Structure 1
């Protein structure tokens, strides 16, 4: 393992390594947190595969199409997906539905992660305020 994350190859290798560990334990907060930290050295727009991976982790078993309101109960993946879409908005690289995806993730988190419901409500309000400020 290297800490030279400014090197694109090192960063890509670390991302692949982390995704492997997330696949083994989707609700492991440490792996998702590490992946978020890695993204401090890059942008989500440069790594769309990470967002696709998070979406896959949210898919209920046996489905191919993501409906966040009926997603699997994977709070770590939902939180990462929400934050990634907020980051895309901040980076001015948002895809057409980034705001809707982030909002749906926070709304789903309120339901599936009751321990941190107040946090998700707060993040949802921040997102809505961010959106209102950009109009």
Structure 2
């Protein structure tokens, strides 16, 4: 009767590695930071330590590194040595990209593997597969920081055209207006394209943000984007925006008002109070009117946003200070 004899998957039992003496962690290392791991982990990293000492770069080392990555894909030294092996062996970089597709899809938030992918793309000088790949990752989780960072790098490094990326970001925003990553990416593309000083662009982007802000007033992302669009010329540069926001404020029940909306209105008032006035008396009048309105909003904010009560109280003290100075000016 034939009996199947199990074969070991350990490197220490492989004839191909009989010429290498593994270097295991010392007792001192184990005592300092005791980590629970299995025998396969100890085995492959013992041989990897030995390879680091010898400097060997070969196909068998690449297979060893593969095994180690399966055990700990976040180990920086593994990826660094893998890059050295790829260069020394003149490996097929397209094959490496296919390998990275699998690793990233299994470890989508692993910084080291994204960094390795960037290095491979640099060597290839070809970014054609990257936007479709990041889209695949973002389809699974549309706020994956590493995928967005990689996409930004691709745009910068290879000077990719702006319009397809604007179309892509708009698609994601329409699918999920609360996707802060998509808003940030859209701002990045516009900034890189030098379009944040273009009046037509600012008008279009402001209208987009304003519509979504009024529709979803509790969406912090859109308020941040709207503020960014108006930053260059000032929050009061488009009175129709302030009018629309105030209308939403007034039509919303007090308990249901968004603190993001209130904070935006406070910023408008603070900007107005700090603006240059041609006449001292006129300036004092504007400050007094704006201060009274700001105080009311800040008091409301301390109720609906209790987490930042201390901040809003601090802002109210600053407003009070400006109001006192304005009152002194008005009585001169």
TM-score (norm 1): 0.81
Looking at structure 1, the residues matched to 216 and 236 of structure 2 have their Cα atoms a distance apart, in angstroms, of 25
Deviation at 1:118, TM superposition (A): 1.0
User: Which structure: larger Rg?
Assistant: 2
Check conservation: 1:85, 1:98, Cα contact below 8 A: yes
Check conservation: 2:298, 2:316, Cα contact below 8 A: yes
1:75 to 252, 255, 259: 259
1:89 to 273, 281, 284: 273
Deviation track 1:57-90 (CA, whole Å, cap 9, x = no partner) reads 212448xxxxxxx474221111100111111111
Check conservation: 1:60, 1:71, Cα contact below 8 A: no
RMSD: 2.3
TM-score (norm 2): 0.35
User: Is residue 107 from structure 1 mapped to residue 299 from structure 2 by the alignment?
Assistant: yes
Aligned to 1:67: none
Aligned to 1:66: none
1:30 to 211, 217, 221: 221
- Structure 2 unaligned segments of length 5 or more: list them: 1-165, 167-189, 278-285
Deviation track 1:2-35 (CA, whole Å, cap 9, x = no partner) reads 3312122211111101012212311111111111
When structure 1 is superposed on structure 2, of 77-86 and 125-134 the one drifting more is 125-134
- Structure 1 unaligned segments of length 5 or more: list them: 63-69
When structure 1 is superposed on structure 2, of 121-130 and 86-95 the one drifting more is 86-95
Deviation at 1:114, TM superposition (A): 1.0
Aligned to 2:37: none
Looking at structure 2, the residues matched to 71 and 87 of structure 1 have their Cα atoms a distance apart, in angstroms, of 26
Q: SS state of the match for residue 45, structure 1? A: coil
Aligned to 2:312: 120
Work out the number of aligned pairs and report it: 128
Structure 1 runs of 4+ off > 6 angstroms? none
Looking at structure 1, the residues matched to 252 and 236 of structure 2 have their Cα atoms a distance apart, in angstroms, of 28
Aligned to 1:7: 198
Deviation at 1:96, TM superposition (A): 7.0
Looking at structure 2, the residues matched to 5 and 56 of structure 1 have their Cα atoms a distance apart, in angstroms, of 27
